[in-house]
């Protein structure tokens, strides 16, 4: 049952991810953003299969919620023309895709030769309790630093959005 779910979710994630970058029917950024939402939600499903329940919830809330709303707002703000009238340089595209394929080959080769072994029997579950416990004891300093980072990002965005940017 779990393996069937894994194959379905992995297939959906990869198909939606592919549709983000190359949709044969539309080149509008809005379509890409919508397929990115779907890819992120299927990835959250994979997180659930890995018993990372808290991260699956955060993935849907933060990525599919907050981040994608931000993307859609900016797309709406920029009012972009459709990309299709731009010609794609065939040679550059082929070269880029070939280098991406070579990197995939390197990944898969290293996966094949890596001594992954059987591993331990998975028993941890990333529920809110377990994750919160480790986050507020062992990782409390990085947690505080991240809050400062969010503040800095917020100040930076406000500064960048000022109209008379020097």
Partner 1 sequence: MTIGLEHYLVVSAMLFVVGLAGVIVRRNLLVIYMSLELMLNAANLALVAFSRFTNNLDGQVFVFFVITVAAAEVAVGLALIVAVYRRRHTAYVEDLRTLKL
Residue ranges in 100-139 that form contacts with partner 1 under rule CB under 8 A: 100-101, 103-104, 107-108, 111, 116, 119-120, 122-124, 126, 130-131, 134-135, 139
* 45 binds partner 1, rule: CB under 8 A: no
DSSP secondary structure code for residue 166 in this structure = -
Q: Shortest approach of partner 1 to residue 29 CB, angstroms?
A: 5
Measure the N-to-C terminal CA separation of the chain; round to a whole number of Å: 59
Q: DSSP letters of 69-130?
A: HHHHHHHHHHTPPPGGGSPPPHHHHHHHHHHHHHHHHHHHHHHHHS---S-PPP-----HHH
| Min separation Cβ 154 and partner 1, Å | 7
Give whichever of 24 and 149 is closer to partner 1, judged by the CB atom. Answer: 149
Select the residue interacting with partner 1 from 78, 90, 91, 141 (CB under 8 A). 78
Per CB under 8 A, does 64 bind partner 1?
no
Contact indicator for 75, 31 with CB cutoff of 8 Å: no
Residue 8 as a binder of partner 1 (CB under 8 A): the answer is no
Phi, psi (rounded to 5 degrees) for 115:
-80, 75
Alpha-carbon distance values, 35 to 39, 68, 110 (Å) = 6, 11, 30
Among 26, 38, 55, 60, binds partner 1 (CB under 8 A): 55
Smallest distance from the beta carbon of 156 to partner 1, in angstroms?
5
148 contributes a contact to partner 1 by CB under 8 A: no
Instruction: Give least dist CB 24 to partner 1, A.
Output: 14
- According to DSSP, residue 27 is labeled -
- Is 71 a binding residue for partner 1 by CB under 8 A? The answer is yes
């Amino acid at each position: 049952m779990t393996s069937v779910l894994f194959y379905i979710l992995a297939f959906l994630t990869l198909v939606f991810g592919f549709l983000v970058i190359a949709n044969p029917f539309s080149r509008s950024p809005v379509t890409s953003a919508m397929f990115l939402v779907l890819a992120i939600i299927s990835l959250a499903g994979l997180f659930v299969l890995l018993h990372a329940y808290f991260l699956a919830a955060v993935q849907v809330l933060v990525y599919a919620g907050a981040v994608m709303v931000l993307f859609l707002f900016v797309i709406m703000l920029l009012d972009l023309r459709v990309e299709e009238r731009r010609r794609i340089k065939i040679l550059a595209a082929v070269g880029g895709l070939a280098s991406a394929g070579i990197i995939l080959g390197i990944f898969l080769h290293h996966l094949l030769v890596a001594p992954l072994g059987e591993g331990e029997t998975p028993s941890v579950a990333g529920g809110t309790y377990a994750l919160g416990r480790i986050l507020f004891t062992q990782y409390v300093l990085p947690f505080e630093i991240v809050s400062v980072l969010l503040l800095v990002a917020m100040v930076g965005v406000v500064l960048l959005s000022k109209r008379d940017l020097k």
